[in-house]
């Protein structure tokens, strides 16, 4: 009897010690968001591209989750980035506009003080934070990353096609002629600054090596902060035109220069994953790969592909806002192809939930917690999505259906602005290319979507337009 009691007590002791050890080994999750610029839905081999080789991203797709119905917060740079970092539709913060679609080097405003960035949110629980790459939320000091929750910044403050000297415009016959010819992809034609923290360290930035340097900076930050939780927002400047690639990457892809750019981004992803594995922190690090909007199809071979989706960057058609998205965290995230709806807006709530940070109750969020999909194989809490262009609501998705109340092309492409009453209606599971209008056959679906729109717009409080004001730089 005594032996049985002793044996029982020993088992309990071992069990308790085991539980304690497991608890001690449980560490906070690190987060890395890799955000491509103008990457199309059909530009990765794991999403069907027949020419571009992306083996490292394909590995993430196989070992993690590939989301097929994932949306950027907007169809152009500035509002899309604001949405990701705040978990709020950009109209709420004033980071969208009908007058200026994005911020420029002479813009007077930027990321507002009252917004809490994802970096600032994670700082509340002692995360080390870095923004590496394209910012495009204001170039003046008060708007740069270090003033909004990031401990470190290395990157270009706006798009890589900006700051062209006027004499270059005159010589090349204007912006479109300059960008349309890849022979003009010269460092000196684009006087963009490279900033470390708040200081310009290189101008013009050497864009031939910028993709590789972004990956190297990310790896360096990981190694320096491996013993504490960290968040890295790696926002590539490419494949936004003009296209640049390092000498090691040039001529390697059968897709030409555009393919070279994507394959170099993929190589950088592989280097980052390798660093996580070498440091023994891959299992506690969530990596998310996605894009800020769809491809800039206006530039033909220099632009990407939306695959089966219609149109591209700048539009509220699927090709403009549905983006290729991967989640990876080995032995934690359930590997699968996910057909549920999600958005870059949802990263804010998802990361906050995983890190144990409460959302503020003084503002309206548009972010959903996706952690139950990632870790427990449950359905997404997001069943709808609002497609804004500037400050106007153009389309709404509810379940598998999408209604277009307004449609418009990008920069003169794919048709002029047009109001639709009744709205155009598409079943996105049956018709992701939005080819077959089924509005007449589904009045009840349109009614439900209109009710959702009315409820949404009645509660919407738009922020002050922060993109419209432009002037000479101080």
Residues with catalytic roles: 77, 136
Residues in the chain: 474
Tokens standing for 233?
């927002």
Region of 231 (left: φ > 0; alpha: ψ -120 to 50; beta: rest) is beta
Phi/psi at 82 (nearest 5 deg)? -60, -40
Contact 347, 435 (CB under 8 A): no
Minimal CA–CA distance to 463: which of 393, 363, 384?
Answer: 363
Rg (CA), the chain: 23
Burial of 327 (0-12, 13-18, 19+ CB in 10 A): buried
CA distance 125 to 120: 10
Rounded Cα–Cα distance for residues 148 and 140 (Å): 12
CA dihedral over 199, 90, 85, 215, signed as positive or negative: negative
Q: By C-alpha distance, which of 232, 228, 220, 222 is closest to 288?
A: 232
Alpha-carbon gap, residue 54 to 262, rounded angstroms = 8
d(C-alpha 380, C-alpha 129), whole Å:
27
Closest CA to 31 of 284, 330, 262, 219: 284
Closest to 199 measured CA to CA, from 134, 147, 153: 153
């Amino acid at each position: 009897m005594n032996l049985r009691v002793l044996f029982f007590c020993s088992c309990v002791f071992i069990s308790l010690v085991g539980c304690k050890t497991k608890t001690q080994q449980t560490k906070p999750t690190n987060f890395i968001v890799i955000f491509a610029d103008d990457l199309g839905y059909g530009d990765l081999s794991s999403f069907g591209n027949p020419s571009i080789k992306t083996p490292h991203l394909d590995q993430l797709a196989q070992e993690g989750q590939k989301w097929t119905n994932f949306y950027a917060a907007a169809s152009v740079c500035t509002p899309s980035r604001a949405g990701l970092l705040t978990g709020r539709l950009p109209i709420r913060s004033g980071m969208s506009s009908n007058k200026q679609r994005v911020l420029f080097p002479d813009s007077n405003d930027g990321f507002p003080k009252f917004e809490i960035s994802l970096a600032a949110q994670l700082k509340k629980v002692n995360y080390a934070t870095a923004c590496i790459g394209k910012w495009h939320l204001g170039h003046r000091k008060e708007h740069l990353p270090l003033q909004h929750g990031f401990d470190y910044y290395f990157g270009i403050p706006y798009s890589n096609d900006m700051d062209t000297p006027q004499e270059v415009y005159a010589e090349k016959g204007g912006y479109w002629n300059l960008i349309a010819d890849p022979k003009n992809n010269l460092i000196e034609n684009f006087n963009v600054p490279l900033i470390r923290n708040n200081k310009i360290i290189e101008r013009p930035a050497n864009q031939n090596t910028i993709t590789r340097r972004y990956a190297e900076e990310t790896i360096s930050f990981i190694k320096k902060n491996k013993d504490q939780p960290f968040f890295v927002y790696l926002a590539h400047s490419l494949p936004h035109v003009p296209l640049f690639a390092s000498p090691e990457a040039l001529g390697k892809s059968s897709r030409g220069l555009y393919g070279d750019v994507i394959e170099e981004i993929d190589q950088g992803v592989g280097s980052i994953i390798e660093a996580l594995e070498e440091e023994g922190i891959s299992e506690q690090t969530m990596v998310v790969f996605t894009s800020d909007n769809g491809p800039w199809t206006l530039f033909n071979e220099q632009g990407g592909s939306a695959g089966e989706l219609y149109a591209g960057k700048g539009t509220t058609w699927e090709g403009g806002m549905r983006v290729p998205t991967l989640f990876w965290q080995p032995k934690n995230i359930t590997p699968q192809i996910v057909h549920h709806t999600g958005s870059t807006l949802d990263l804010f709530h998802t990361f906050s939930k995983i890190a144990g940070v409460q959302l503020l109750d003084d503002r309206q969020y548009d972010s959903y917690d996706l952690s139950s999909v990632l870790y427990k194989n449950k359905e997404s809490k997001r069943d709808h999505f609002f497609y804004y262009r500037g400050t106007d609501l153009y389309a709404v998705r509810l379940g598998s259906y999408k209604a277009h109340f307004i449609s418009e092309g990008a920069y003169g492409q794919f048709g002029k602005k047009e109001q639709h009453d009744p709205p155009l209606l598409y079943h996105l599971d049956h018709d992701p290319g939005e080819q077959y209008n089924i509005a007449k056959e589904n009045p009840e679906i349109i009614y439900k979507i209109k009710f959702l729109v009315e409820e949404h717009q009645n509660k919407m409080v738009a922020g002050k337009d922060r993109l419209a004001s432009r002037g000479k730089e101080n």
